[in-house]
Amino acid sequence: MKPAWSWQFEAGRLAPATPLPLPSPITAEWAWGGSRGAGVRVAVVDSGIDAAHPAVGEVAGGVALHYDPEAPGQVRAVEGPHEDLFGHGTACAGIIRSLAPEAELYSVRVLGARLTGKGMVFAAGLRWAIDHGMQVVNLSLSTGKRDYFAVFHELVDEAYFANVMLVCAVNNVSGPTYPSQYASVFSVAANEATDPERFDYNPAPPVEFGAPGIDVEVPWLGGATIRATGNSFAAPHIAGLVARIVAKHPGLTPFQVKTILLSLASNAAAPGGPDGDRHLLLR
């Protein structure tokens, strides 16, 4: 079972990525070694987070957003604790927690009872994350509606200039989806890796990163753990690593973080050399 876009990360298909020929190479130890993501604010824009799940731990805060034609902007926001309606937000939070145990998790619940107005609710969730100082935002959802192209483009640009790292799962549809399509986000599809810290850089985007998302063990509702597949489970792996990098190197910009990730991708070739598995040499 492989989600859409995963084929790009299959062994033999993935071209080598060429890191910057720096005088001293970027290593995993330098990038995130010893970092547990302490103090980094990470938002999960999804179905809520079950804070009672042992794999999730404390949820620092959050907001539940829903469509309300009477509310300003047609979206009503209820700050504070809320449950996970489906289990998916908990799964993403658990993956991030496993990689960055000391990150501050925030739940931005945008998936709820009704589908009416969900694009507006989704955009409002992203707006909330930017306005509330989130440093990493995990978005395991996207919209293919062209109407939202400009809305999300504006939000994504704003996030970029505020050094907010937007990590987006790519959708299964053949056409573009927003915001995963934009160049400044970290777009992620599932690869076949089982090591949670092993990821790929795709030199032929739009999908830039491959991370584990096939048959991964994830927390779910009611304290359970399930084995699930989807690009939506790949994104939080990158979000977790980004949180660790940002915790260790405050003030990095999204393009700097992408440069670091490219250097540490499993398919990063030694600069000027043949396609060596640099990733393994540096660990």
Partner 1 sequence: MPDRPERLLEQVAALAADLGPALAPVGQLDLLRSITAAARELFDAAACSLALLDEAQETLTFHVASGAGAEEVVGQRVPVDRGIAGWVVSSGQPVAVADVAADPRFAAEVAEATGYMPRSVLAMPLQTEREVLGVIELLDQRADSLVGRRDMELLGLFANQAALAIEASRVFSSLGQALFQALGMAAAGDRDLAASLDELARRSPGPAADLAELAGAFARLGQVGPAERAAATRLVRDFLAYAGGDGRPS
Footprint of partner 1 (CB under 8 A) = 1-7, 46-47, 85-88, 111-116, 118, 140-146, 169, 171-175, 177, 215, 220-222, 224-232
193 phi, psi to nearest 5 deg: -65, 150
CB 83 within 8 A of CB 52: no
Nearer to partner 1, 111 or 136 (CB): 111
Cα(258)–Cα(165) distance, integer angstroms? 10
* Closest approach of partner 1 to the CB of residue 183, in Å: 21
Q: Which residue has the tokens 């927690």?
A: 97
Q: Minimum distance from CB of 246 to partner 1 (Å)?
A: 25
Burial class (CB in 10 A: 0-12, 13-18, 19+), 19: buried
CB of 131 to partner 1, least distance (A): 23
Instruction: Name which of 145, 136, 92 is nearest 257 in CA terms.
Output: 136
- Positive or negative, the Cα torsion across 244, 249, 253, 258? negative
| Min CB(283)–partner 1 separation in Å | 28
18 or 98: whose CB is closer to partner 1?
98
Q: Which of 154/215 has CB closer to partner 1?
A: 215
Q: Is the CB of 82 or the CB of 278 nearer to partner 1? A: 82
User: Distance between CA 250 and CA 252 in Å, rounded?
Assistant: 6
> Six-digit token pair at 77?
């926001």
Contact predicate 74/216, CB 8 Å: no
**Beta carbon nearer to partner 1, 126 or 260:** 126
How far is it, in rounded angstroms, from Cα 152 to Cα 45?
Answer: 14
Residue whose entry in the numeric block shows the structure tokens 């050094």: 163
Q: Compute the least distance from the CB of residue 107 to partner 1, in Å.
A: 15
Residues, the chain, total?
A: 283
Nearer to partner 1, 6 or 267 (CB): 6
Give min distance, CB of 32 to partner 1, in A.
27
Q: Which is nearer to partner 1, 32 or 122 (CB)?
A: 122
Q: Phi, psi (5° rounding) for residue 133? A: 70, 25
User: C-beta of 161: minimal distance to partner 1 in Å?
Assistant: 27
The sign one gets for the Cα dihedral 102, 241, 163, 4 is negative
CA dist., res. 96 & res. 49, Å (int)? 12
